[in-house]
Structure 1
């Protein structure tokens, strides 16, 4: 006698969430942590879940943010990774990028919609975890005030120029003046 049982959609989703951590998911987390863009792309091409979690609840996006791998974060987000995925301690990728002072990673996560006010289990926001008086701390303060960088700026310039531009016009003028003077010195040296 064969009986068929009907499983509700909720139960099916719970069963899927309990699936064991597979070899390919582990490989995806390791590739993201090491910054291997080619391997990460190949694993994602094999239809591995970009939001998979390891035994402590960390996703590939967590590992990429922790290690400052901007291009890996960009790849994962373009493959629809959840930007505010939290681990067992409610720590998000933005918390990890801020703690390690990875400015460009924090900027990318914020532009992708990361919650800058989300608290981890210890009650800290990403700005609380950023090193005091660091570019990342300054950036997150500006985000809390509603001033986020434009995508064009993030993808075309290095992170130092973004911070200098935001500090004040006098600083950005001196930066461009330094660049001009160093170019003119190079031209004079070549002429000698």
Structure 2
């Protein structure tokens, strides 16, 4: 074979996409540990299932924030379109999933992207909802605050009164404060 000729590489189609389908199932059922194990096998997070939906589409539709966060951190495309031109931001807006919409906007989702029916994500959101307000603000150029997106709004596992507080030193309380002379 001559040096200028390149050897043809044959790319055989895969017969079954088991891990990719399991990734979509994990996204739909909010199974974070299963999704993490699948992503460790270097499965493409932008794979589209038979309905043309990526795992990010599925998680956005169901409102699974942690699943979406893991997919975005593993380089899932935030503006990936299904066959109708619908993005995950459209689905998060339709379901009124405020935190999911915030995450997608922080990751760079296009708020002006139209689907085939020429609707933007704002038009998918219910009227008067917090999600619609967020999308309207983003159209005006206001980016969501990351502190609001990633803050934990849960009660602590151990109540505050159960955490022992250091007792004040009784000697320090009775000592007069002396001013230093210059």
Note whether the superposition's TM-score is higher than 0.5.
Answer: yes
CA shift digits 1:56-114 (9 cap, x unpaired): 21100000100000000000000000110000001000000000000000000000000
How many residues align? The count is 149
- 1:114 maps to what in 2? 109
Task: Verify: 1:26 aligned to 2:1, yes or no.
Answer: no
CA shift digits 1:140-177 (9 cap, x unpaired): 0000001122212211155xxxxxxxxxxxxxxxxxxx
Distance 2:152 2:131 in 1: 16
Task: Verify: 1:57 aligned to 2:52, yes or no.
Answer: yes
Distance 1:99 1:47 in 2: 31
> Taking structure 1 as reference, are residues 140 and 21 closer, same or farther at Cα in structure 2, changes over 3 Å only?
farther
Q: Structure 1 unaligned runs (5+)? A: 159-192
Which residue among 72, 77, 83 is the counterpart of 1:82?
77
CA shift digits 1:22-77 (9 cap, x unpaired): 01111000101111111111111111111111112110000010000000000000
- 1:123 maps to what in 2? 118
**Any residues of structure 2 matched to 1:163-182 within 5 Å, and which?**
none
CA shift digits 1:100-147 (9 cap, x unpaired): 000000000000000000001111100000001101001100000011
Q: For the pair shown, which has the larger CA radius of gyration, 1 or 2?
A: 2
So what's the TM-score if we normalise by structure 2?
Answer: 0.76
Task: Verify: 1:41 aligned to 2:50, yes or no.
Answer: no
Q: Structure 2 unaligned runs (5+)? A: 1-5, 154-182
- 1:103 maps to what in 2? 98
> Taking structure 1 as reference, are residues 146 and 26 closer, same or farther at Cα in structure 2, changes over 3 Å only?
same
So what's the TM-score if we normalise by structure 1?
Answer: 0.72
The structure where helix makes up a greater share of residues is 1
